[in-house]
Amino acid sequence: MAFPIRARGVSRVFAGGAGVHAIDLAVGTGQIHALVGLNGAGKSTLMRVLLGMLRPDAGQVHVHDCDIAVAGPLEWREVGHVVEHPLAYGELTAWQNVLLAARLHGIARVRAGAAVEQVLAELGLDRYAGVRAGRLSLGNRQRVGLAAALVHEPRVIVLDEPSNALDPAGVILLRESLRRRAGEGAGIIVSSHHLDEVARIADRITVLNAGRVIGTLDPGGVDLERAFFSLVHADDERRVAAEGAA
């Protein structure tokens, strides 16, 4: 199987010891891979390393077959992401924001308008196209950020808590959009606190705790919440016991 995104032995440790440690992760073609974990577990840190925003202390990340340490604009064009603050300039309209993102991602001027229209419609933003982003509600700004990340039909998609401000209609539109993109071969990694939504959308679920991968959850399994907490509690107990023994 081809892996649009793959991390091997990735560590990034901040002063004080927090961060991510020895992470192995592979997202296959057409796969939606969810990262779940408590606040501070390391999800955003890992995503920032996957996107080259943070340099790992150890390990490598490959996007398709390219080590991101040497990736150039051509490789990054294949990637769409929202990590932390979505791209949305308050003074520009939703349309202008997404058009700018399309052009920055190398979509030719003649094709950009149609691509913007399509992604705005896909995320239910058509009637806000002419509204300045600064005047949009939080959820609609988040939709604009997602549209900007997805307008160039990236083959690798990295989204950190993409649905946290979305209403139920937005959650469904995003789910359908990501499913379509995975169906067309994109590799997608998404973090979330909503286990129900993760179960609906993900093909694989990786659990992070205290900066480490501690297991996986079966998206089709029953009582995901219980399975999640039992993994986390077992890991916490193991770490407390190890610290006590040291």
Binding residues for ligand ATP, rule: CB under 6 A, are 14, 18-19, 37, 39-45
Contacts of 84 by beta carbon, 8 Å cutoff, 6+ apart: 44, 160
Judged by beta carbon, residue 50 or residue 151, the one nearer ligand ATP is 50
Query: Tokens in use for 109?
Result: 């001027």
Contacts of 168 by beta carbon, 8 Å cutoff, 6+ apart: none
> Cα-atom radius of gyration of the chain, to the nearest Å?
18
Q: How far is the CB of 84 from ligand ATP (least distance, A)?
A: 9
The DSSP output letter for 133 is: G
Judged by beta carbon, residue 38 or residue 71, the one nearer ligand ATP is 38
Judged by beta carbon, residue 44 or residue 177, the one nearer ligand ATP is 44
Q: How far is the CB of 19 from ligand ATP (least distance, A)?
A: 5
CA angle 90-54-101, nearest 5°?
A: 30
| Alpha carbons 225 and 135: distance in angstroms, whole number | 37
Judged by beta carbon, residue 4 or residue 19, the one nearer ligand ATP is 19
Sheet containing 204-209, strands listed edge to edge, beginning at the edge strand earlier in sequence: 79-82, 156-160, 187-191, 32-36, 204-209, 212-217
Q: How far is the CB of 239 from ligand ATP (least distance, A)?
A: 14
Judged by beta carbon, residue 43 or residue 105, the one nearer ligand ATP is 43
Judged by beta carbon, residue 18 or residue 66, the one nearer ligand ATP is 18
3-state secondary structure of 120: helix
Q: How far is the CB of 215 from ligand ATP (least distance, A)?
A: 16
Q: How far is the CB of 16 from ligand ATP (least distance, A)?
A: 6
Q: How far is the CB of 43 from ligand ATP (least distance, A)?
A: 4
Distances (CA, A) of 71 to 67, 77, 79: 6, 10, 11
Query: Tokens in use for 142?
Result: 């988040």
Judged by beta carbon, residue 14 or residue 229, the one nearer ligand ATP is 14
| Alpha carbons 33 and 201: distance in angstroms, whole number | 9
Q: How far is the CB of 88 from ligand ATP (least distance, A)?
A: 20
Relative orientation angle of helices 109-122 and 138-150, to the nearest 10 degrees: 140
